[in-house]
């Protein structure tokens, strides 16, 4: 008898979340938890098989990559992804990754299994970007609202010592006080989390 479907809530990833999302050391974990809640409501975190569990874990990795790419564009904070390590943390078996990839997925030649896993996770996580974007824009109303939530991750969490020193910006200020970096980051969000150049670590 098959197990009933279950949701991989944020607590399932709490031990690895900081490793994947921490870039600024401010509000990014709170942002990620909120976004994961939206994805759960959209049905994107529900599993009823081991293959489903791997797919949902890849969505978690994809959300982290989306955020890291945003930081690289908005604030030049670039952190290379560690796809093989993340696969180990999340217990993603190479066989399941191969099932999700399919027989004709283009992967680079690699001498080490670790490099193949890295490439496979990268390809699979990138496939999830469109679905993540659709769900988050639907939850928040429009790409501008999504951009604002991502931009505010540079603020310290409310109630901390750093929060008192933050320069609080209104939503209008965030959207209208422009810089080249902010324009690039906004286009990235508005166009479906697609970068013009490959993310660092490719």
pLDDT single digits (tens) 129-138: 999 999 999 9
Q: Do 11 and 109 form a contact (C-beta atoms < 8 A)?
A: no
Let me know if residue 195 belongs to a domain.
no
Residues spanned by the domain of 83: 6-102+110-190
Average confidence (pLDDT) over 33-56 = 98
Q: Do 36 and 10 form a contact (C-beta atoms < 8 A)?
A: yes
What integer best gives the mean pLDDT of the chain? 92
Let me know if residue 65 belongs to a domain.
yes
pLDDT, greater one: 164 or 9: 9
Nearest Cα residue to 108 out of 120, 95, 98: 120
Let me know if residue 133 belongs to a domain.
yes
Q: What does the pLDDT read at residue 169? A: 93
pLDDT at 147 over 90: yes
pLDDT at 200 over 50: no
User: What is the C-alpha separation between 23 and 72, in angstroms, rounded?
Assistant: 10
Domain count, the chain: 1
Average confidence (pLDDT) over 139-150 = 98
Let me know if residue 35 belongs to a domain.
yes
pLDDT tens-digit profile of 156-175? 988 788 887 888 899 999 99
3-state secondary structure the chain: CCCCCEECCHHHHCCCHHHHHCCCCCCHHHHHHHHHHHHHHCCCCEECCHHHHHHHHHHHHHHHHHHHHHHHHHHCCCCCCCHHHHHHHCCCCHHHHHHHHCCCCCCCCCCCHHHHHHHHHHHHHHHCHHHHHHHHHHHHCCHHHHHHHHHHHHCCCCCCCHHHHCCCCCHHHHHHCCCHHHHHHHHHHHCCCCCCCCCCCC
pLDDT tens-digit profile of 180-197? 999 999 999 999 999 755
Q: What does the pLDDT read at residue 20? A: 98
CB atoms within 10 A of CB 4: 6
Q: What does the pLDDT read at residue 139? A: 99
Let me know if residue 23 belongs to a domain.
yes
pLDDT at 1 over 70: no
Let me know if residue 200 belongs to a domain.
no
Average confidence (pLDDT) over 34-56 = 98
Let me know if residue 1 belongs to a domain.
no
Buried b / exposed e across 149-178, counting CB within 10 Å, b at 16+? Answer: bbbbbbbbeeeeeeeeeeeeeeeeebbeee
pLDDT at 4 over 50: yes
pLDDT tens-digit profile of 95-123? 999 999 987 777 767 678 899 999 999 99
Q: What is the pTM of this model?
A: 0.92
Let me know if residue 27 belongs to a domain.
yes
């Amino acid at each position: 008898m098959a197990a009933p479907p279950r949701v991989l809530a944020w607590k399932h990833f709490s031990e690895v979340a900081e490793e994947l999302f921490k870039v600024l050391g401010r509000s990014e974990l709170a942002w990620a938890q909120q976004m994961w809640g939206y994805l759960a409501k959209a049905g994107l975190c529900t599993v009823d098989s081991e293959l489903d569990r791997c797919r949902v874990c890849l969505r978690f990795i994809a959300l982290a990559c989306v955020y890291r790419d945003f930081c690289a564009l908005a604030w030049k904070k670039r952190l290379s992804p560690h796809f093989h390590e993340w696969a180990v943390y999340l217990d993603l078996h190479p066989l399941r990754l191969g099932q999700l990839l399919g027989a004709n997925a283009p992967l680079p030649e690699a001498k080490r299994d670790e490099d193949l896993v890295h490439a496979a996770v990268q390809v699979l996580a990138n496939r999830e970007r469109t679905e993540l974007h659709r769900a988050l824009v639907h939850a928040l109303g429009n790409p501008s609202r999504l951009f604002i939530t991502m931009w505010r991750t540079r603020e310290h969490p409310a109630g901390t010592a750093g929060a008192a020193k933050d320069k609080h910006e209104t939503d209008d200020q965030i959207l209208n006080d422009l810089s080249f970096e902010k324009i690039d980051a906004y286009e990235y969000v508005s166009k479906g989390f697609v970068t013009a150049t490959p993310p660092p670590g490719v």
